[in-house]
Amino acid sequence: MGAEVIDRGAKGVASMDHLTKLGSSLEVPNVQELAKEKPPRVPERYIRHDRDQEEPVLPQYSPEIPVVDLQKLLDESSMDSELHVLHTACQQWGFFQLINHGVDSSLLEKMKSETQEFFNLPLEVKKKFDQKPGDVEGYGQAFVVSKEQKLDWGDIFCIVPMPVSLRKPHLIPKLPSSFRDAIETYSKEIKILSMKILNMMAKALGMDIEDMVTLFEDGMQTIRMNYYPPCPQPELVTGLSPHSDAGGITVLLQVNDTIGLQIKKDGAWIPVTPLPNAFIINIGDIIQIVTNDSYPSIEHRATTNSEKERLSIATFYNPKLDGVFGPAPSLISNEKPARFKSIGLAEYLRGYLSRELVGRSYLDVMRIN
């Protein structure tokens, strides 16, 4: 995206409006509409000629990402052994499924069906929520920074529901009331859940809980709803390019049972099969920074399917937008000095969003050499 659309002038931080215009994407075709074309076709801009050179994809179910039981973490008698499960999952996988998380399954079902209904709306209706120049929120595609860049086979709808002061008047308030209500309740629940998970991570690491709470209390939350239409030649495209998430932690809810998420481990792609009623949690770059490399953020991607559409709801839980983060003081020592710079969230996100989504490269920008 070029300097023509990104608001780089906000570095010094001015109004809240400046703060939430963190980046943007060039306008590209709507993939849901493209996928309806007859005869079906995959335009050149979506074809990854290098897909045959990529790492192997392991068969489904072998191996599986770890499973963490939140109830066991909160229960005095099982806490210690489950903290060990959490710690190992975060250290060695950066990904886990969370069961017994306490979020009502009827709320999850509601959020899923409302998301599905949103993408089912006619294009003219969805267009009212289009991303505006200089903004990644809204309906469209993310991370399209140049005309030469390959495109992902998917559309997104992205909103910032929390803190409430950052809500854009043309987005959440204009949604159908049932969707709005679902988002309202869902984002409150995800905030509570994220704080519980972050607390447990701090415990597992022997980190000062206050370091974690101060950073993430009233954190900024982004919900990104992904829609991957069926693709006539799924082996030629990616639904979402390989990346690590920039935020603190990501809480992913898969909407239907189409498989597509893959994580990279030991030089291979591992497909993730969501458990019913579970969240898929992963470490984002900010937690890798805060934990001073103890918990790595892991590269992942989404593939597409020739028959079925796939939908997912990713919620990124971040520090507060006007806060500064870096390696937690309680995790810095003479033996392990700070490995990353400290930075304000707004400046960090702006830098991240202005780059093409490529692997883990932005984390390297933050690293102290």
Q: CB-wise, 207 or 223, nearer to ligand OGA?
A: 223
In single-letter form, the type of residue at position 362 comes to: Y
Instruction: Say how far apart CA 361 and CA 134 lie, in whole Å.
Output: 22
Residue number with the shortest CB distance to Ni ion? 245
Stretch that binds Ni ion, among 142-150, 176-184, 237-245, 301-309 (CB under 5 A): 237-245
How near is the Cβ of 46 to ligand OGA at its closest, in Å? 17
Q: Taking Cα atoms as reference points, which of 82, 275, 111, 105 lies closest to residue 178?
A: 111
Of 245, 285, 299, 309, the one binding Ni ion by CB under 5 A: 245
User: If contact means CB under 5 to 8 A according to the sort of partner, which of ligand OGA, Ni ion, none does residue 302 touch?
Assistant: ligand OGA
Stretch that binds Ni ion, among 19-27, 172-180, 204-212, 240-248 (CB under 5 A): 240-248
Per DSSP, the residues of 282-344 read: EE-HHHHHHTTTSS----EEE---SS--EEEEEEEE---TT-EE-S-GGG--SSS---B--EE
Q: CB-wise, 240 or 349, nearer to ligand OGA?
A: 240
Residue 312 touches ligand OGA, criterion: CB under 6 A: yes
Residue 299 touches Ni ion, criterion: CB under 5 A: no
In single-letter form, the type of residue at position 246 comes to: A
Q: CB-wise, 114 or 245, nearer to ligand OGA?
A: 245
What is the number of other CB atoms lying within 10 angstroms of the CB of residue 2?
A: 11
- Using CB under 6 A as the binding rule, the residues of this chain from 228 to 267 that contact ligand OGA are 240, 245, 260-261
Instruction: Say how far apart CA 264 and CA 270 lie, in whole Å.
Output: 6
Residue 285 touches Ni ion, criterion: CB under 5 A: no
Residue 69 touches Ni ion, criterion: CB under 5 A: no
Total residues binding ligand OGA (CB under 6 A): 10
> Dihedral through CA 281, CA 282, CA 288, CA 289, nearest 10?
-70
Parallel, antiparallel, or unpaired: how do β-strands 67-69 and 95-99 relate? parallel
Q: Which residues bind ligand OGA (CB under 6 A)?
A: 224, 226, 240, 245, 260-261, 300, 302, 312, 314
